[in-house]
Amino acid sequence: MNDQAVVEKNSSNLETKHRILVSDAMSKEGLLPLLQSNQVDCVEKYVADVSDDELSSFDAILVRSATTVTEELLAKMPNLKIVARAGVGVDNIDLDAATKHGVVVVNAPDGNTISTAEHTFAMICSLLRKIPQASASVKAGEWKRKAFQGSELRGKTLGIVGFGRIGTQIAQRAKAFEMPLLVFDPFLTKERAEKIGVTPATIDEVLANADIITVHTPLTKETKGLLGMQNIAKTKKGVFLINCARGGIIDEQALKHYLANGHVGGAALDVFEEEPATDRELLEFENVIGTPHIAASTKEAQLNVAAQVSEEVLNFLEGQPASNSINLPTLSKEVYEKVKRFYELSKKMGNILSQVMRTPVKEIEVIYGGTVRELETSITTRSLMAGFLQPRVDAAVNDVNASLIAKERGISYGEKHVDRTYGYSNVIHAIVKGEERSFELRGTFIKEYGARIVNVNGFNVDFVPEGHLIYIQHDDRPGVIGRMGQLLAEHNVNIATMQVGRAAEGGEAIMMLAVDKEVDSSVLKALLQIDDIHFADKIEC
């Protein structure tokens, strides 16, 4: 099956009941939409207890974290149309294999928001008041009041790294404790910050001024080890660190180092680099408290996520689009085939714009010219928004929920059709407007050559939006390109292709390089040391 196509094998014909396998323990109340539907045959049974013949009859499977959805399992379920994860993380689901089989994967991205926020705050209170240690002491028959003197939250500056749904809920609770709030989120607009009542800050400002730092970002290449040797060294002596997001955002080896020398006052961890947690040395510090990845484990959260995926699966099997699809666009195959090339181009354009505009954004305008206007452009606009938002949020974004997430982030968007095509048969022109600057991108689809980016911020270029790219802004001076090439060679970075655009001789210019491997921050910093280079950043497509 074509892994690019959305194959919604669901049918609106409800004469035959849809068979759904619930393979992990879930809230009965949350499953009521399925259990009460006369269009569904709901089977609650572990996968291991289901025969291969029976597996082949199921249209949907609901899982939590215990069941692993593998290529092998998917091959045994030829009628499967949708996998639903009652929770956020999908590490136990082979997304590539699901896509290959045309199976939609959905999750419940916001069902446990409140539970996670509350657990984070419980960890903060427990850490500063030494509640777990005091409780253990009392249970051991001791009464050491002086040993467990804690600290008040009032007046302590709370630094929040990542300001999505969970970070926002934590901020609301912290205000009730009269805590000043510093927030690092590169995409937080001043308007949204003022509305919620927080102070936007750089990561260095948070590190230098926060008494307590809690992280709420996804685990990515950029956030892995975010609080490591260098950044923890920038924090205030006695800082408290909290991680109820993803294991690995705090470097555990670095954390042990700063706990041992007394720089870090304590840490509260619900997630670990390896789970179950195996680093006994870390857990044996008296000022470290840990919980076994239970931030989302409340009765209410489990009810919410079960109910959310139950409704999602039921609606999907009845022919409606999946609002929380992670791996496939929620379009019919017929519609998708018509817009496929522009759907994929617009998503890549959105992703590129998001990486280049690493600042708060207020508005996005998408302009269509030429033959693309004959299609349903609202679909490609939503695709562009999904591509733009995905690197910025800690949840899966698709063309269905992109508008809601954009609204939550204070980003407005719209589209219009024009006659101008810049000499191409079709063109998509996206303009992103931020608080401090704007950025533009134009793309086209050429039958013989595929998707192309033909203009970057007013400079004419022509490159394929894929692979490892380096975007450079510089002055058009002799020797700049030569020094750039020499520097990349010194770092063993091979240039595959290079596009150069300039406004006028000797004026502003850009380079777009396709290279053979992803470059690290040291290469980008070195590029900025070259005279006449003003901006350098990597783009991963």
Of 511, 508, 500, whose CA–CA distance to 538 is shortest? 511
216 labelled catalytic: no
* Selected catalytic residue, list 119, 192, 246, 341: 246
Distance CA 272, CA 87 (A): 18
Q: Which residue has the tokens 């709420």?
A: 216
290, 283 Cβ separation under 8 angstroms = yes
Of 206, 212, 154, whose CA–CA distance to 184 is shortest? 206
* Selected catalytic residue, list 71, 142, 275, 435: 275
417 labelled catalytic: no
Exposed/middle/buried for residue 432 (C-beta within 10 Å: 0-12, 13-18, 19+): buried
537, 470 Cβ separation under 8 angstroms = yes
Contacts of 217 (CB under 8 A, 6+ apart): 161, 162, 223, 226, 245, 246, 249, 394
Exposed/middle/buried for residue 1 (C-beta within 10 Å: 0-12, 13-18, 19+): exposed
450: left (phi over 0), alpha (psi -120 to 50) or beta: left
Helices (H), 49-187: 52-55, 71-75, 95-100, 113-129, 131-139, 165-176
**Could you give the angle at the alpha carbon of 155 between the alpha carbons of 154 and 156, nearest 5°?**
95
* Selected catalytic residue, list 85, 192, 293, 409: 293
The residues carrying an active-site annotation are: 246, 275, 293
